[in-house]
Amino acid sequence: MFSCTSGEEALASDHTTCFCHRPEIQILNRRMGADLSRRGFLGGIAATVAAQGLPGLAVAQPSGAARRPIVFTNFRLFDGTSASLRDGLRLLVEGGVVRSVLAGGPKPPEGAEIIDCRGKTIMPGLIDAHWHTLFAALPLPRLLTEDAGYIHLAASAESERTLLRGFTTVRDLGGFVFAFKQAVDEGLIAGPRIYPSGAMITTTGGHGDLRMLSELPRDANGSLSSVERSGGGMIADSAAELQLRVREQLMQGASQIKLVGGGGVSSPRSPLDMSTFSEADLKAAIAVARDWNTIVTVHAYAPETVQRAVSAGARCIEHAHLMDETTAKMMADKGVWLSIQPFLSAEDTGTLTGPSHVASLQVFAGTNNAYQLAIKHKIKTAFGSDMLFSQAHAARQGTMLTHLTKWYSNADILKMATSTNAELLALSGPRNPYPGKLGVVEEGAFADLLLVDGNPLDDISLLANPDRSLLIVMKDGKIYKNTLPR
């Protein structure tokens, strides 16, 4: 469950064993795994009942289905694709979608709520392409002592904070979030839309293999470790086993698959230069995802690891901070996406020690070159923050956006975090849990809207101060925050 994929990590005093490997966390993982297994059983019953056409559990209607129309007036618009603002428009939201954005606009529907925006800026909700919903904010010491119920409640609280920071959609790249996503979709929890990957899939000894050394060698019967039983990560060491794990995530509702192609910053036993799956293994997994009409994204830092994933047919690479010219050209030639995080210093990751500290320095040193190569070779680039295990770091989502000014204009940054990221999400095809227009403000798009006190095209730092700068946060046509002076 607790997969140290990046961000703040608490290592033991010998700098070789992270907290995730300690017996206490293994006990917690087993307890959470049992709890999630029960939920999965009940979810399976509900799905079976529905498939048989029998009376089943009541399902809440989408949150925007029954509210009265809302008309926004007197605003400036960043639509998610343009490099300038538009004025003199009227925006109608009804049934969770944008019905019209017109100059003057039609007469408001009877009973509509009229919101005078007082010249502020409306823009699409932000999208984070690399997020971990369950593990974003709760510190590891609390994870060691609290029960599963508390952990899920803490994730719920962080989910709401994420939404109020203006991130109305996230791509979850590791964690058992299927039930959590359902709760968000049904309105039980306030939070962003979730594109779930389910368990991150790795090899023995790879990034995400969080077993204690006492658990080795693996049971001859192939029994799952406590981390695997929790659903947070899965270990596969053959093509057949890898295909099985991919199918399991897709069966549970994964919109895309995340494979671990190499080492990671916060895994002390998996250096950044290592590679895990062979090209043949990656091809086998990608073939399964193609059979399900969706994509695979591969965690990879080193050039050889990235190139292997690209050759195997991966549609997206996560991180790639150490890539070189040859790797960048290869990605560009193949049309492979880059989902990268603008990590610049320990302020972005928290204090790391031992091998993780060494790896983080490698990442910081490679960040500038990676972005420059992406721009030079015109690689389609997505924004993600990849914050873990710290509420303070989770709150830096908007601040991470401001780091991008080192390489991009404010307009390009805003487009990347809205319409461009939406293009990446759309690659999930029929597995897209939210088919429709995301990341834009136009007719027919989901009504995920922010009202910003100022012009983010002039001052991107407004998004780093959401408590002050975001006056309205709307998702699916529902207003979750409105501090516009009346």
Over residues 328-366, the pLDDT tens digits come to 999 999 999 999 999 998 888 887 788 888 989 999 999
Burial of 110 (0-12, 13-18, 19+ CB in 10 A): exposed
Last residue of a domain, one of 431, 450, 466: 431
Answer whether residue 300 is part of any domain.
Answer: yes
Answer whether residue 389 is part of any domain.
Answer: yes
Domain boundaries, position 26: 19-45+126-212+223-431
Number of structural domains in the chain: 2
Q: Show the tokens assigned to 121.
A: 């800026």
Q: Are residues 380 and 455 in the same domain?
A: no
- What is the CATH number for 85? 2.30.40.10
Q: Where are the beta strands (DSSP E) in 228-364?
A: 233-235, 257-260, 296-300, 316-319, 337-340
Edge-first strand listing for the sheet containing 126-131 = 126-131, 167-172, 193-196
Say how far apart CA 18 and CA 268 lie, in whole Å: 7
Question: Cis omega before residue 217 (within 30°)?
Answer: yes
Do residues 227 and 1 touch, judged by C-beta distance below 8 A?
A: yes
Do residues 275 and 262 touch, judged by C-beta distance below 8 A?
A: yes
Which of 160, 149, 167, 174 shows the shortest CA–CA distance to 35? Answer: 149
Answer whether residue 6 is part of any domain.
Answer: no
Q: Show the tokens assigned to 346.
A: 């320990």
Answer whether residue 291 is part of any domain.
Answer: yes
Q: Are residues 192 and 246 in the same domain?
A: yes
Say how far apart CA 305 and CA 450 lie, in whole Å: 38
Q: Are residues 327 and 458 in the same domain?
A: no
Q: What is the DSSP letter of 19?
A: G
- What is the CATH number for 330? 3.20.20.140
Q: Are residues 172 and 284 in the same domain?
A: yes
Q: Are residues 408 and 420 in the same domain?
A: yes
Which of 75, 85, 101, 81 shows the shortest CA–CA distance to 447? Answer: 101
Q: Are residues 119 and 130 in the same domain?
A: no
Beta strands 193-196; 113-116: pairing state: unpaired
Q: Are residues 229 and 361 in the same domain?
A: yes
Last residue of a domain, one of 431, 449, 474: 431
Q: Are residues 202 and 143 in the same domain?
A: yes
Say how far apart CA 91 and CA 387 lie, in whole Å: 34
Which of 362, 441, 442, 370 shows the shortest CA–CA distance to 406? Answer: 370
Answer whether residue 414 is part of any domain.
Answer: yes
Say how far apart CA 17 and CA 354 lie, in whole Å: 10
Answer whether residue 34 is part of any domain.
Answer: yes
Say how far apart CA 418 and CA 248 lie, in whole Å: 30
Predicted confidence at residue 147, as pLDDT, reads 74
pLDDT along the chain (486 residues), means of 10: 38 38 44 44 36 35 66 97 96 96 84 96 98 82 66 90 98 93 96 97 88 74 72 88 97 98 88 95 98 98 98 98 98 98 89 85 95 98 90 92 98 98 98 97 98 98 97 98 92
Q: Which residues lie closer than 8 Å to 452 by C-beta, 6 or more apart?
A: 120, 121, 122, 123, 462, 463, 469, 470, 471
Q: Are residues 78 and 165 in the same domain?
A: no
Q: Are residues 288 and 372 in the same domain?
A: yes
Over residues 171-226, the pLDDT tens digits come to 999 988 999 999 999 999 999 999 999 999 999 988 887 767 777 777 767 777 76
Q: Are residues 355 and 271 in the same domain?
A: yes
Do residues 132 and 397 touch, judged by C-beta distance below 8 A?
A: no
Q: Are residues 111 and 177 in the same domain?
A: no
Answer whether residue 319 is part of any domain.
Answer: yes
Answer whether residue 63 is part of any domain.
Answer: no
Predicted confidence at residue 230, as pLDDT, reads 67
Predicted TM-score (pTM) of this structure: 0.86
